[in-house]
Structure 1
Amino acid sequence: MNTQQTTVQADKGWRIWWQLTRPHTLTAAFVPVLLGTVLALEFTQMNWFMFIAMLLASILIQAATNMINEYYDYVRGLDTEESVGIGGAIVRNGVKPKTVISLAFILFGIALLLGVYICLNSSWWIALIGIVGMTAGYFYTGGPVPIAYTPFGEITAGFFMGFVIVLISFYIQTGEINSIVMLVSIPVSILVGSILLANNIRDLDGDKENGRKTIAILLGRQKAIYFLAGMFIVSYGIVIALIVFGLASPWLLISFLSIPKAVKATKGFIGKTMPIQMMPAMKATAQTNTIFGFLLSIGLLIGYYV
């Protein structure tokens, strides 16, 4: 039995819907909420209800964006049964496209309700920012000129799923924003963007055939891998700069324990041309973001209380 057949048989029942969310990407929503909340603990006590509401809303928006991605990639003929790295609910499991896009909008709706609760307990400006974020999620692969087809996919993802979420998570706990939280959010934002870059390196050949103009395509595979490595280096370099300039605790260096994953991610792309060969590197890229964010949060907590 080949791998494709195994995958098709494995994706039954709840697994179809779980894979549709693309769970390996959901940490990109969790980590910024955690970091923004931990940063707030230096100034206030944690409001658990706001934290949970923000966390659920972010995860739902990420999952909905992934479903919209799957829907439009199917509509445009980009996804087939042989495609690597997709949820596969439509092309492999027979889920109707209309069901996928409807579920995405339902998740957006639930996130919107959670946003109302957050706004009632903080500021209605959050509603405007949230709507802009959901709109960006839709137009990432939807609309006449999807953001994912341009060189701005990584920047858009990093900004909304990194920088913005960290700042909102901090604001709803403290009622303010400061320069430190903005600076600390940058490395995580870069690493969120790196997940999209890794995805685009894997899909480079197919994306080129379908007229996309991603950073990976514009740079070429080898230079895109160098660029990915540069994103990792800059993220860790910012942490060092924050410590050297006395803006953060030396305990943030604990985040450097995630470096082996970043190295594995970079090396995993070198010399590979087949999408299936690059899946471990993609996974390592997502894990780098997760581990880095968790360790950065732990370093902040230790710095507060030691």
Structure 2
Amino acid sequence: MHSTDKIDVKKALNEKGGFQVWWRLLRPHTLTASFVPVFIGSMLAFSEDSINIGLFLAMLIASMLIQSATNMFNEYYDYVRGLDTEDSVGIGGTIVRDGIAPKTILRLALAFFGVSILLGIYICVESSWWIAAIGLISMLFGYLYTGGPVPIAYTPFGEAFSGFFMGTVIIGISYFIQTGELTVDAVLVSVPVALFIGGIMMSNNIRDLEGDKENGRKTIAILLGREKAINFLAGMFAAAYIITATLIAAGILPLWSFITFLSIPKAADVIRKFRTGETPLEMMPAMAATGKSNTIYGILLGLSLLISRFI
């Protein structure tokens, strides 16, 4: 590829220097996958009892640090394996376009893990040491997601693992540290959230389908093909809303949770954007819209639980 093409990619992505280099490294559009579950799990606990703000903030920061570190491991190991170039879309680009040393990215990821461990110790002291075991397992899978001999993100199981650990596990921990128990209802509430978070990974894989195929990955998007993968993503969204309605009908979620259906237009917009986009750059708006869909749905669900606490 010519150097002019490389410059065009950087301009098209509107990448700037300074602080924004480090901000992009965090891949902020993905951080909704860590904020939303903590918010929902905490609001679910608050709807039933009270809430410890210190534990809520510690859990929120720790989750976002682990998510950010996972993104950094992704940046580092994709570079080491020769998968990222100056023309790669969907990455922070801090190594291949901004010249940040790979070891700096790796050290920063490990530092984020270190801080999250300290926050985890505080959470354990205030709740239960069982959280330490779960937290360490989650961090291990965060590393194995793109590190290790067979990265999970390169297999058909990326969506399932990301949805489970970032959705169900984080909601479960957030609920448990506030209430001292984990209920079946809390697990059921986590299912639609897990689907939305898995959808973020699915969107990423649809956008990167051609490049991933060339590099030997076996994601669901590659196995299904572009059109079927988009239909699969639409099915994930539909399932999330159907499960939400079922939980409301069963009395597990309050009637106020119907406000989550206000996020349907944004989810539909994701599918429209994917159907009209052809290149990774053209599909970037669809990827961004996927993160926004998760954010809107999650915030509305959390607010519905908060409202039910007082009404």
Give the conservation status (yes or no) of the 8 Å contact 1:8–1:92: no
Structure 1 residue aligned with 2:307: 302
Residue pair 2:47, 2:308 contacting (<8 A) in 1 also: no
The code of the aligned residue for 2:308 comes to G
Separation in 2 of the partners of 1:176 and 1:7? 48
**Residues 8 and 93, structure 1, Cα contact 8 Å, conserved in 2:** no
Change (3 A) 1:5 1:144: closer
Match of 2:285 in 1: 280
Amino acid across the alignment from 2:17: K
* Residue number in structure 1 paired with 2:195: 190
Aligned counterparts of 1:141 and 1:14: Cα–Cα separation in 2: 25
- Offset of 1:9 from its aligned partner? 8.3
Q: Once the two structures are superposed, what CA deviation does each residue of 1:147-166 show, in whole Å capped at 9, x if it has no partner?
A: 01100000000000000000
Aligned equivalents of 2:252 and 2:21: distance in 1?
A: 45
Report the Cα distance in structure 2 between the residues aligned to 1:33 and 1:48, rounded to whole angstroms: 12
2:271 corresponds to 1:253: no
Is contact 1:32-1:161 (8 Å) kept? yes
Quick check: 1:11–1:93 contact (8 Å CA) kept in 2? no
For 2:265 and 2:13, locate their aligned partners in 1 and report how far apart those are by CA, in whole Å: 33
* Aligned positions of 1:128-277 closer than 5 A: 128-277=133-282
1:141 is paired with a residue whose SS is coil
Residue in 1 that maps onto 2:11: 6
**Comparing 59-68 and 38-47, the one that deviates more:** 38-47
Q: What SS does the corresponding residue of 1:211 show, helix, strand or coil?
A: coil
Deviations 1:121-147 (A, max 9, x none): 111110010111011010111011000
What SS class does the counterpart of residue 123 from structure 1 fall into?
coil
Q: CA RMSD in A?
A: 1.4
Distance 2:59 2:12 in 1: 33
Percent identity among equivalent residues?
58
Match of 1:60 among 62, 65, 69: 65
Normalised by the length of structure 1, the TM-score is 0.97
1:192-234 alpha-carbon deviations (Å, 9 max, x no partner): 0000000000000000011100000011110000000000000
Return structure 1 stretches of 4+ with deviation > 4 angstroms. 7-10
Q: Tell me how far 1:85 sits from its aligned partner.
A: 1.2
- Displacement of 1:7 in angstroms is 6.5
Tell me the distance in 1 between the aligned counterparts of 2:78 and 2:264. Answer: 33
CA distance in 2, matches of 1:139, 1:273: 30
Tell me, yes or no, if the aligned pair for 1:20 and 1:67 is still in contact at 8 Å.
Answer: yes
Q: Would the alpha carbon gap of residues 181 and 9 (structure 1) be closer, same or farther in structure 2, given more than 3 Å must change?
A: closer
Measure how far apart 1:42 and its partner are.
2.6
CA-CA distance at 1:44 after TM superposition: 2.3
| Offset at residue 271 of structure 1 (A) | 4.1
User: Are positions 1:16 and 2:39 aligned together?
Assistant: no
Give, in whole Å, the separation in 1 of the partners of 2:126 and 2:304. 29
- Give the counterpart letter for 1:157 in structure 2: S
- TM-score, normalising length from structure 2? 0.96
CA distance in 2, matches of 1:276, 1:10: 13
Distance 1:9 1:254 in 2: 34
How do 1:16-35 residues align onto structure 2 when only pairs under 5 Å count?
16-35=21-40
Unpaired runs of at least 5, structure 2: none
State the Cα distance separating 1:301 from its structure 2 match.
1.7
Structure 1 regions of 5+ residues with no counterpart? none
CA 248–10 in structure 1, closer or farther in 2 if over 3 Å, else same: closer
